[in-house]
Structure formats: structure tokens, C-alpha cells
Amino acid sequence: MAENKPIHTKVMKKTVLLLAFCATLGAWAQRGGITPQMLSDMKAQHPTTASDRAMRNALAKNAINDLALAADNPASTETFFSNEVASKGISNQKSSGRCWLFTSLNVMRARMIQKYGLGSFQFSQSYNFFYDQLEKSNLFLQAVIDNGGDEMDSQQNRWLFEHPLSDGGTFCGAQQIITKYGLVPAEVMPESYSANNTRTMNMILTLKLRQYGLELRRMVAEKAASTTLQARKTEMLGTVYHILTICLGTPPERFTWTRRTADGKAVETKEYTPQSFYEEYVGKDLVGDYVFLMNDPTRPYYKTYSIKYDRHSYDGADWTYLNLPMEDIEPCAIASIKDSTMMYMSCDVGKCYDAKSGVLSLDNFNYADLFGTDFPMDKADRIRTFASASSHAMTLMAVDLDAAGQPLKWKVENSWGPDSGVEGHLVMTRDWFREYFFRLVVEKKYVPSKLLELARQKPVELPSWDPLFEDE
């Protein structure tokens, strides 16, 4: 039989337990944790309604965007454009991050098609991607040498080893690679599986580069001569080159190509080098003829900025841009389209995108009604809180203007294949464009002289890890 304890002992025990429980609650509250009272308050704020139960049942079997889609959004059906640059043949980057390269080449091929009356034509993305990966590998290894005297856990070295290589990039990278190595037609160096599916090749190269980076740091610490460091780096790059040839093929040094009309009639057959092909069929000064414009409301407008190591080759220039309000950027884009000239642009393509219609519109999805709360952050707040950044490059090719010459909507040539969007294109409403557009590369002749003068300012250098550019 259990021993009977005095009443006062039981009371004291309960009191101690209660005090301990209260102390625990106090500790939770003091540390900012969720207390039982807070949970009770949360539940009381939104009593479950019949509408909530119906919505929960619907979401159990359907995607959020399917239920939030605004079926009566007029932007999803209007495809007329008052000004449009002709284009032939939609490209497909498949499972790779090469949108920057496809977009840059699409800008150049559009002019070539117009000038020579070609049918559907594409440059070889794989050819330029090969040298992009080789140049980026050298950029990483040389940057490791340059920063070898700093601690491994310095912010710059941490960023370098976190980002030794990627398949992403910007137009300045295309400038550097194409100017240095030229261009070839797609059939001269076709796409391989690893070109279309870059993940595993990137993993292998990244692992190798990190290994090499540690070795170079040890050599710097041991005071190795510069000539010794450069010789060892060249050996390392020889291995990178070998891996790239296995994955992508060997870039041609000379080739024969027949130019044909749109109906397939042969016009001329010649032998080219990649450089001579570029000079004959593109011939643009990719560095001197263009200006980079940006819309970043978190920083002062009418200032130039550059991002450290935001380039593709060690001997190239960092991405340097003039930050402008949309009111100054849009007229430049309109002038270019009216003159039948496509442009490189980038945006946050995943926001408010209806894949079924191919339309990007702020009115595509009504999350506010679905969840009973609003989402009021503007573009600057989204950038500051990592909610939005430039994520995808496309070719700006059309604009629909109202009677006053103001844009109603825009159209881009995308690189997701002909079955995506509007036959391979995406349509952007004016309001969406202003909220989620970031970069535009435009020929200088379409930019007012006062803005070109501002673009010549000494740029403010931003760090490699700036959040707006971290994922590119």
C-alpha cells in the first residue's frame, strides 16, 4: 500500500511545478519564442469559416497558382504589338543556366538574319560556352592567387570558394568570350548532353577548381615565384580543358560553311576561322557600341556602379552599369525596337508568371483573396529583403504603344523552346515590366547624350557578394 504523504507536501509539490511552468513560459517569452498563450491568440485571430474549409479542400488536390489564377485577366489574351523586330527560330537552353549566352547570341543572329535574308539560323552556343567555362576557371584560379595573402575565411576568399564556377552570366561575359574567340554556326559545334544538362559537369569542374585553389594558396603561403604559380595554373587549366573537350567537344579552329537564302538556295561557300566568321557576319564592336542600364531603386539613380569579379575572363572588365529610373530606360528600349534592333534584358521572370498563357502580369494571381492578406512591398523593399533579383536573361523584341507613345506591354524572345509561352515568347505588361525588370543592354545610338555622359563616371565598386547579383 502506498504511503500517504501529508497534504502540505502535495501542495508544495504542485506549487513548485506551477512555478517551474510559469518560469518556462517566462523564459519562452523573454527569448522571443512562441508560448501557449501566443498560440491561443493566433488561433483566435482567424476563426475557421466555411470558405476556409472549402479552400482547404480545394488546395488538398490543386496547386496554389491554379486557384489564385485570375481567369478574367485581359492581359492573358491580348497579343498585338505595334512595334516588333522580326525573328526566326526559338532556341532552347534546356537544363542549363546559359540564358545570358542564348540571349546575347539571339540579339546578334536577328541582325544577321535580317541583313543576309537567312532562314532560321543559330550560332553555336556550345562553342562559346566551352571558352566561357575555361575563362571562368582561369578567373577563379588567378583570383585565388591574387587573394592568397588574405585569410581563408575573409569574405572575398569565402565568396571565391563558394562560387568557383557557374553556367550563369551576363552580357559582359558574352562580350569578352565572343570578342576573344569569335563565333561559329550551330552545326559546326552542336549541343552535347552536358551542354544541355550542365549540373554534373559543373559539379566535377567545381570540385576540381576548389582542390586547385587550395594548392595555389599553399604555394602562395610558401612564397612560390610568380612564374612557378603561372606554370602550375596552366597545368591545372590543361586538365579543365581536357574535361571540357570530353563533355562538350573540341572547338573548331577552321571550318567551311555555306550561306543559304531563306528558301534554302546556296549563295556562297567559304572557309572561316571563328574570328573571321564573327567579323564578317556580326562585325559589331561589342565592347564600345553598347551601354549597360539598370533599374535598382535601392541605390541613387544617375550613378554608375560595377560589381567586383562580375565578369567571365580575368582580362575582361567587370559588369559596369548606369542606374536609371524606368522613365529613362523605357525610351531607349522603344527607340531600339523601332529601329528593328533587339536587346539583351534581364528580369525576375518567376514572379507573377502564368506558364499556360506565357504572360507576366501583376494581375495574374490573386493571393490576397485566397489567403486573406495583402503583399504590399514595393520593388526596393523586395530587393532589400532578398525577395526579388535579376534571375533570367531574354531578348527584348517588341513593344505595344498607346496613342501617346507610352508602352502598354512588351514581348521577349525566350530560350525555353518553341512550346513554352506564346510560341517561345513571353508577354510582359507595363506594370509588371516596371516592377521586375532589372538590366538592359542597348546600343549607344539609342541613348540620349546626357545619359551617355553619366555612364562615363568613375563607377562605385560593389562587392562580389552584393545580394542583387549573387545568383547570376
Active site residue 366: no
Q: Round to whole Å and give the CA distance between 87 and 343.
A: 13
Active site residue 8: no
Q: Round to whole Å and give the CA distance between 370 and 360.
A: 19
Q: Round to whole Å and give the CA distance between 391 and 170.
A: 11
Closest-CA residue to 328 (of 467, 455, 456, 457)? 455
Beta strands in 261-367 (DSSP E): 266-272, 290-294, 303-307, 320-323, 343-347, 353-354, 359-360
Q: What residues form DSSP beta bridges with 413?
A: 395, 425
Active site residue 99: yes
Instruction: Tally Cβ neighbours within 10 Å of residue 378.
Output: 9
Q: Round to whole Å and give the CA distance between 466 and 318.
A: 14
DSSP-H helix ranges across 339-409: 367-371, 379-384
Q: For 447, left (φ over 0), alpha (ψ -120 to 50), or beta? A: beta
Please report, to the nearest 10 degrees, the dihedral formed by the alpha carbons of residues 301, 304, 305, 309 taken in order.
150
DSSP 412: E
- Active-site hit among 73, 106, 364, 414: 414
- Active-site hit among 73, 99, 295, 347: 99
Give residue for cell 527584348. 396
- Active-site hit among 172, 202, 323, 392: 392
Q: Which three cell numbers mark 102?
A: 542564348
Beta strands in 48-176 (DSSP E): 83-84
Q: Which three cell numbers mark 387?
A: 525577395
Q: Which three cell numbers mark 405?
A: 507613345
Catalytic site positions: 99, 392, 414
